[in-house]
Amino acid sequence: MKTAIVTGASGGIGGAIAAKLAEDGWQVAAVYNTGKDRAQRLRQSNPAIKTYQCDISDYDSVERLFSMVQADFGSMDGLVNCAGTAYSGLLQDMGREDIDRVVARDFTGTLYCCKFAAGEMVRKHRGVILNISSVWGLYGASCEAVYSACKGGVVTFTKALAKELGPAGIRVNCISPGVIKTKMLDCYTRRDLQALADETPLGTLGTPEDVALAARFLMSENSRFITGHNLSVDGGFAL
Q: What length does the chain have?
A: 239
Gyration radius of the chain's alpha carbons = 17
Looking at residue 228, its amino acid is G
112 is annotated as an active-site residue: no
Please tell me which residue in 32, 87, 112, 147 is annotated as part of the active site: 147
CA distances from 43 to 37, 166, 227 (A): 10, 33, 30
Backbone torsions φ then ψ of 33, nearest 5 degrees: -110, -65
Q: What are the counts of helices (DSSP H) followed by strands (DSSP E) for the chain?
A: 9, 7
Question: Are the C-beta atoms of residues 150 and 56 closer than 8 Å to each other?
Answer: no
Q: Give the catalytic positions in this structure.
A: 147
